[in-house]
Structure 1
Amino acid sequence: MAVTDGVVVWIGQDSVGHTLHPDAEVIELDGAFVAPAFVDAHVHATSAGLLLTGLDLTKTSSVDELLDRVRSAEGPLVWGHGWDETRWPENRPPTRAEIDEAAQGKTVYLSRIDVHSALVSSDLVSDEARAADGFSADGPLSRAAHHHVRGTAKAAITPEQRQAAQRAFLNYAASRGIASVHECAGPDISGEDDLRELLALTEGPEVVAYWGAHDLPAVPVRGLAGDHFVDGAIGSRTAALTEPYADADTSGALYLDGRQIADHLVKCTELGIQAGFHVIGDAAMAAVIEGFSLAEKTLGTPELASARHRLEHVEMVSKEQAEKLAGWGVVASVQPLFDAEWGGPTGMYAQRLGDERGVGLNPFSRLAAAGVVLAFGSDTPVTAIDPWAAVRAAVHHKTDGHGVSPRAAFTAHTRGGWRAAGVNDGLTGTLQPGAPATYAVWETGDLVVAGSDARVQRWSTDPRSGVPGLPDLTGPAPVCVRTVLNGRTIYERK
């Protein structure tokens, strides 16, 4: 492959390239393979960076372990993330009294794995939080109460800590073969200053900015989309359901109704920008369908569909709803590792929703079959920044029939991400003459190939072309050697 001025100008398997470019710098790959770089279509950069530089609770296995981690953490602010009580033998989070005892005078903010609720020390709980929806006298705070305490905790993070977290995240993403990330910012998530500082960083992956609110910020963004919340999350029991949760007397929280959704779609379409929403529960999806239907009556189908609005997560969607979304040109930004973490008959989804509903989430094949464009992401820090694991999770879905092919999964994590951001030139996200030279170089390990009598073979081909059987990426995954964005190396393994 030959690259000139950041663009692929030649690809072939013979010596013609050397003849056409006699003065080129030649990079020998020694058996490594080149593929289009990944795009992570849903990230929260600063929060993900704070997970890398702060208190990582994603592997804690009990209430006592979490409390011990808080005791040993340095203050004055202990910012942690990732606890998940559904994995613990106690099957409950710590109480506020337990957090206060472990804090020993430090201020503590610990977001749940889905970032829709948090454990906090008492000194973070203001009068406004006590009066807000989602307040609990002793348990995690959710909804508006969570937004209040998160805002207070964010204000205690210094600019130096924030920039260090952002750089750590971008460097880590590049080391995973990611050349572009979609930052899903918002007033209750990160704030305008945070987004402005992130966009000012020039090293690392390209940052595509979205703002999850009704009004434009004073920062350039691709759209009023991303985490514009229609509802919450299943783990925190704030995703909006048509029937109550199986393990609690609640149906979640619906933050926007069909009319509000329609007004936002019309506004963004007329402004020529993408609209989008965070939608998880089936009641939230019903509101989104109503909103698009109302917007269609105002705008007409062609104008609405041409805007390529996007939805984040899309965990509960019927066949009929998927077909309607495809007709409206909707892009589904989805996270395969959600199923890997919480799917299946014994996972968190089944605990919260019951056996029948719990195995029906994240139906990627249903969306793809309807013609909805899929863009894969991590929602980091909710799940890990691990594109090959996401490809594997999309192929080996825990519910039979919900997965997609290896080629479809790889495309959704590469070209699909560019399409989700409005790049529809037919070249970006591929490797062919005329395409941006945005790619990653990978060394391959030995991969077990399903359907081949458990034999082990070397996977040294472009994964889009497929291999015999389905690659089982639970074995050694390809290791990133170099990540290149528009011809510029943004990561090289030392």
Structure 2
Amino acid sequence: MIRTLKTTLPLAAALMLAAPAAYAQNLLIRGGTIHTGVEAQPTAEVVVVRDGRIAYVGPADGAPSAEGLEAVDLKGATLFPGFTDGHAHLDGIGWREMTLNLEGAASIVEAMARLTAWAEAHPDGVIVGRGWIETHWPEKRFLTAADLDAAAPGRLVVLSRADGHARVASSAALAAAGIDATTPTPSGGEILKGADGQPTGLLVDGAMALLEGLAPEADAAATREAYRAGFNVYARYGWTGVHFMSAPWKDVSLLEAMAREGEAPLRVYNSIDMGDARALMAGGPRDAGDGRIITRAIKFYADGALGSRGAKLFEPYSDRPDTFGLMLASREEVMPLYQEALRTGVQIATHAIGDQGNHDVAAWYEEALRATPKAEWKLADPRWRIEHAQIIRPRDYHYF
């Protein structure tokens, strides 16, 4: 896929989204600066596309015949190889568009004003939203049940933080889920409590599962609509590909069908959630829609997120000296899966943010790669990834 830019602003995605199929399949593109992404030949004069594949990139003098090609004059615009987002949650982006969208809310006041407006427009059912983040809010704190109760009195409300590692619930939602001061903290999670010992409404990582089941599960039609919305957001921003992290295994066949039916305007590389690891490894990597949807990796979570104090650190948090963060996976849990991935041709991506989280994952990778005989590898080149790698001790740089 390709993208055109004039100065720094994306143009309409006409070449891929709005143009007739024949136009998009056979092209002669010229008339602007063409970046190749290849160090030895950074720019070119002409790009030729035949049958949907880039057939030539180079000087005009060496270009093949233009017979049967639709000429595209860039008129001074700049052409780039397609931009791929290396880490996103495509389903979450779609659902954010279809539920209460708190992305960009600049304060608790603004976020709660959006909640009030949504509650008035949707008087029935559980209110679900996502996209809030307190990092730059003037209030300098997380949302609480009290905030939600004031904005939408009596309503069941569950709002996910932008990183997906914390959710805040209203008092009605906490009660419906049976969460109170005596609720045991789930492994790999935290139920934040106030000075009175009562839950504040914020649940971190593993504790978020306590809220599952409050909202009805989306049916196939709604799920498809959510993916359409996610695709539209990415196409509008100019992306041509996305690495979909924690992709639900149950949705892979849906995405493949959307690609075959022309509803996937960008390439998707699926890293499925670790809970479905063995389902992927049983059949091995797969692709559909002429490589438009590729499912070839498993996404693991080693620790939580930094903002919600879930990233696992070697030293306690300076503003929460009572916690070092959370590990969401153990060596005993992941090692058999890492080794089986090597034997079944599946790639690995593991979320790690804190310095201890990163150390542990790097050490686990090293152990798995050394312990599994290369003769058993089905991957010639294991491109195992650590997603985020946000904080790393200098003594662990050698792993990277």
TM normalised by structure 1 equals 0.58
Letter of the aligned partner of 2:246 in structure 1?
A
> RMSD across aligned C-alpha pairs, in angstroms?
2.8
Compared CA separation, residues 319 and 72, structure 1 to 2 (3 A)? same
For 1:197, which of 238, 254, 258 is the aligned residue?
Answer: 254
In structure 2, the residue corresponding to 1:180 is in which secondary structure? strand
In structure 1, the residue corresponding to 2:191 is in which secondary structure? coil
Cα deviation, residue 154, structure 1 = 5.7
8 A contact 1:225–1:310 mirrored in 2: no
Larger radius of gyration: 2
Matched, 1:89 2:138: yes
Number of the residue aligned with 1:343: none
In structure 2, the residue corresponding to 1:256 is in which secondary structure? coil
Cα deviation, residue 168, structure 1 = 1.6
Which sits farther off after the overlay, 126-135 or 305-314? Answer: 126-135
Number of the residue aligned with 2:208: 146
8 A contact 1:77–1:156 mirrored in 2: no
State the Cα deviation string for residues 185-227 of structure 1 (Å, max 9, x = none): 25xxxx443444334322211222111215333795734523x
In structure 2, the residue corresponding to 1:89 is in which secondary structure? coil
Number of the residue aligned with 1:285: 358
Matched, 1:299 2:372: yes
8 A contact 1:93–1:139 mirrored in 2: no
Letter of the aligned partner of 1:262 in structure 2?
M
Compared CA separation, residues 98 and 175, structure 1 to 2 (3 A)? closer
* Aligned equivalents of 1:34, 1:213: Cα separation in 2: 38
State the Cα deviation string for residues 358-398 of structure 1 (Å, max 9, x = none): xxxxxxxxxxxxxxxxxxxxxxxxxxxxxxxxxxxxxxxxx
In structure 2, the residue corresponding to 1:216 is in which secondary structure? helix
For 2:226, which of 165, 172, 186 is the aligned residue?
Answer: 165
Matched, 1:181 2:242: yes
8 A contact 2:88–2:243 mirrored in 1: yes
In structure 2, the residue corresponding to 1:51 is in which secondary structure? helix
Structure 2 residue runs without a partner (length 5+): 1-46, 193-198, 287-293
In structure 2, the residue corresponding to 1:27 is in which secondary structure? strand
State the Cα deviation string for residues 306-338 of structure 1 (Å, max 9, x = none): 32222211112245534324xxxxxxxxxxxxx
* Aligned equivalents of 2:54, 2:60: Cα separation in 1: 16
In structure 1, the residue corresponding to 2:351 is in which secondary structure? strand
State the Cα deviation string for residues 98-139 of structure 1 (Å, max 9, x = none): 312322343312111221111112343323794442224123
State the Cα deviation string for residues 209-249 of structure 1 (Å, max 9, x = none): 111215333795734523x1100000110010000111112
* Aligned equivalents of 1:28, 1:16: Cα separation in 2: 18
Matched, 1:5 2:70: no
- Normalized per residue, the structure richer in strand is 2
Compared CA separation, residues 156 and 22, structure 1 to 2 (3 A)? closer
Matched, 1:269 2:339: no
- What is the aligned-residue identity percentage? 27
Matched, 1:135 2:180: no
For 2:315, which of 243, 246, 251 is the aligned residue?
Answer: 243
* Aligned equivalents of 1:92, 1:53: Cα separation in 2: 26
8 A contact 1:260–1:291 mirrored in 2: no
Letter of the aligned partner of 2:337 in structure 1?
H
8 A contact 1:269–1:307 mirrored in 2: yes
In structure 1, the residue corresponding to 2:110 is in which secondary structure? helix
8 A contact 2:84–2:241 mirrored in 1: yes
Larger relative contact order, structure 1 or 2 (CA cutoff 8 Å, min sep 6): 1
Number of the residue aligned with 1:370: none
Number of the residue aligned with 2:392: 317
Which structure 1 residue ranges, 4+ long, deviate > 6 Å from structure 2? Answer: none
Matched, 1:120 2:166: no
Compared CA separation, residues 286 and 165, structure 1 to 2 (3 A)? same
8 A contact 1:262–1:295 mirrored in 2: yes
Structure 1 residue runs without a partner (length 5+): 326-494
Q: Aligned ranges for residues 246-395 of structure 1 at < 5 Å?
A: 246-248=318-320, 249-300=322-373, 306-319=381-394, 321-325=396-400
Compared CA separation, residues 194 and 107, structure 1 to 2 (3 A)? farther
Compared CA separation, residues 198 and 148, structure 1 to 2 (3 A)? farther
Letter of the aligned partner of 2:200 in structure 1?
D
Number of the residue aligned with 2:147: 98
8 A contact 1:212–1:277 mirrored in 2: no
In structure 2, the residue corresponding to 1:173 is in which secondary structure? helix
Letter of the aligned partner of 2:326 in structure 1?
A
In structure 1, the residue corresponding to 2:213 is in which secondary structure? helix
Cα deviation, residue 251, structure 1 = 0.5
* Aligned equivalents of 1:128, 1:108: Cα separation in 2: 14
Number of the residue aligned with 2:17: none
In structure 1, the residue corresponding to 2:73 is in which secondary structure? coil
State the Cα deviation string for residues 17-61 of structure 1 (Å, max 9, x = none): 4x7123322122211122110111212112111223332223223
8 A contact 2:91–2:226 mirrored in 1: yes
Letter of the aligned partner of 1:323 in structure 2?
H
Compared CA separation, residues 321 and 200, structure 1 to 2 (3 A)? farther
Compared CA separation, residues 135 and 198, structure 1 to 2 (3 A)? farther
For 1:40, which of 74, 82, 85 is the aligned residue?
Answer: 85
Cα deviation, residue 145, structure 1 = 2.0
* Aligned equivalents of 2:160, 2:244: Cα separation in 1: 19
Q: Aligned ranges for residues 71-90 of structure 1 at < 5 Å?
A: 71-73=116-118, 74-75=121-122, 76-90=125-139
Letter of the aligned partner of 2:359 in structure 1?
A
Q: Aligned ranges for residues 444-463 of structure 1 at < 5 Å?
A: none
8 A contact 2:127–2:155 mirrored in 1: yes
Letter of the aligned partner of 1:197 in structure 2?
L
